[in-house]
Structure 1
Amino acid sequence: MGPGEGRKETLVEAAIRILNTPDPFEKARLGDSVATQWLHGLILDPYDPSADLPVPDRPARLADVKLVSPSLMPKLGKAGSLQSRQAIVHSLVHTESWAIDLSWDIIARFGKQEEMPRDFFTDFVKVAQDEGRHFTLLAARLEELNSRYGAFPAHDGLWDSATATSKDLLARLAIEHCVHEARGLDVLPTTISRFKNGGDNETADLLERVVYPEEITHCAAGVKWFKYLCTRSKSLGSASNGGGADEEIVQKFHSVVRKHFRGPLKPPFNAEAREAAGFGPQWYEPLAFKL
């Protein structure tokens, strides 16, 4: 899986190495190192055109987190008690651990296959680096709250969606970045307020100053590359320079989400954050109601 002798490792090779690293703390550290090398030009090639490297169906994970069905997850509470604050932060840590894998997976799984431009790799390298930092900071905060990652049950709904979209980059961008990640933008302000009301200003500050603004840029990456793929496709090529293209892209988004996401989207929506990420209410409001 590693690079050949006398040849530097490509970004996709490094991404697969990260996906095959089971310890999430080491995964975050390794991801930060790879991201820094890519962004400083120390990793030159996104992939080897002649290599067909297997991407794991499921990233390596430690077995110290008890996994349950999403429907069996205990209530997290509203951050009024220490246990509730621990449970909420634990949930965020778990989400960020999967976000690391999702970022490297989209690079390894789709970058070469879809002949994506270099900016695609750079955008998701930045996302991966951010997610690793979020995981590390939130895990440290969880320990400050006298708990640890693995102390509470968790679910793998995010990776279920990744598996369902493993053969379709357009679907992956729509579901993971424009539905799930956008949902995070919707609920984070309430979560921040609950920590403040519970007297936990340290966690609130971490979420408000670091996690929340960077998550907007992650959602923006999904919107950007969803639009790119639509515009690049032959079906929208004739309208690529006019307003008709934007309308067709939105309609395509609706059809992809209805195909790959079960049920309607849940309001209320954080319209300001979603607008900052590059998509307005015409993208998501029609999906809030069953047709």
Structure 2
Amino acid sequence: MACSETLVEAALEVLNTADPAEKARLGDAIANRWLKGEISIPFHSGEDSSVPCRPARPSNVRRVAPNMMPKLGKGGSLLSRQAMLHSLVHTESWAIDLSWDIIARFGRKERMPKEFFTDFVKVAQDEGRHFMLLATRLEEVGSFYGAFAVHDGLWDSAIQTSQDLSSRLVVEHCIHEARGLDVLPSTISRFRNGGDDGTAKLLETVVYPEEITHCAAGLKWFKYMCRKKMEMEGHLATINNSDGTAVDLEQIQEEKMMIEVFHNTAKRYFRGPLKPPFNIEARTAAGFGREWYEPLVFKDFKVPD
């Protein structure tokens, strides 16, 4: 079957669609077509001016500055649980855009393997499904998307990394995704303690395990970008053991070098230190050892020797 449409063009359709439910439905259809081989891989052509600076967004959702957001509460009342669920729905709506944006923004600029696109197509498909499930649940508990004010901090930070794929992977698809893993267990407990087992089960059985895979995808492709740069700069040469056998320097220094790049990128683009407690089990499942994130707890951290 001839493929006349590239994945970047398909991703732009999603970004230019305002309604998040329609974004999710369109993204799911595109993902299925991509996985069937009906959409072609993006061709390399440098910068792509057709990518919007800001994706189309719904006009009926009131946005405020992050510091003006009212407290969500701890789930002890129905209103608090609705506000918490609304916040999750909003986060997933942006997760849809962020997943398609990384494809559209960097798909022609970077020479990435097909597996990169497949990974983020699957992430985007998951995020769309999460949005639909959580938005439906929000209506089941007597509210709707747009009933509460929201902030767009996720996109504000994405703008800061719009020129560099490695930085985008670090901030949005590693740090923010991992932070979601940190807070989900307590969020699940708050819903369950408040008597909302339906939302708790949805988060526990669908959203939580899939978000681990999303964090893993971000780390995977950050490592790929690091490795490619190190190869270009000649850092992955070989050295010899004392017995004369060759050892790939990659096996000795690669992880350390990647962590250093990760720390420096986070320090440049992420506002403030990371805040514990960390979900060590989930972060480990996603491929993050403590050495990746614990030094970022302090603003003026130094990369360890």
Look up the match of 1:80. Answer: 76
Task: Give the AA of the match of 1:268.
Answer: P
User: Is contact 1:158-1:176 (8 Å) kept?
Assistant: yes
Correspondent of 2:58 among 49, 58, 62? 62
TM-score by length of 2: 0.91
What are the Cα deviations for residues 184-216 of structure 1, in whole angstroms up to 9, with x where unaligned?
A: 000000000111111100000000000000000
Look up the match of 2:104. Answer: 108
Please list every run of at least 4 consecutive aligned residues from structure 1 whose deviation after the TM superposition is greater than 6 angstroms.
Answer: none
Structure 1: stretches of 5+ with no match in the other structure: 1-5
Q: What is the SS of the residue equivalent to 1:55? A: coil
Shift of residue 49 of structure 1? 4.1
- The answer to whether 1:247 aligns with 2:243 is no
Correspondent of 2:85 among 84, 89, 92? 89
Look up the match of 1:118. Answer: 114
Task: Give the AA of the match of 1:11.
Answer: L
User: What does 1:183-202 align with in structure 2 at a 5 Å threshold?
Assistant: 183-202=179-198
User: Is contact 2:188-2:203 (8 Å) kept?
Assistant: yes
Correspondent of 1:278 among 259, 280, 287? 287
What are the Cα deviations for residues 12-68 of structure 1, in whole angstroms up to 9, with x where unaligned?
A: 10000110001111010000000011012122x122446956101100111111101
User: Is contact 1:31-1:132 (8 Å) kept?
Assistant: yes
User: What does 1:167-206 align with in structure 2 at a 5 Å threshold?
Assistant: 167-206=163-202
Task: Give the AA of the match of 1:171.
Answer: S
Shift of residue 7 of structure 1? 6.1
Look up the match of 1:237. Answer: 236
What are the Cα deviations for residues 128-150 of structure 1, in whole angstroms up to 9, with x where unaligned?
A: 00000000000000000110000
Residues of 1 paired with 2:141 and 2:162: CA distance? 36
Q: What is the SS of the residue equivalent to 2:96? A: helix
Query: Structure 1 199/35 Cα, relative in aligned 2: closer, same or farther at 3 Å?
Result: same
Look up the match of 2:146. Answer: 150
Shift of residue 237 of structure 1? 3.3
User: Is contact 1:173-1:225 (8 Å) kept?
Assistant: yes
User: What is the aligned length?
Assistant: 285
TM-score by length of 1: 0.95
Task: Give the AA of the match of 2:263.
Answer: H
Residues of 2 paired with 1:240 and 1:102: CA distance? 35
User: Bigger shift: 183-192 or 106-115?
Assistant: 106-115
Percent of aligned pairs sharing the same letter: 66
Look up the match of 1:46. Answer: 41
User: Is contact 2:8-2:103 (8 Å) kept?
Assistant: yes
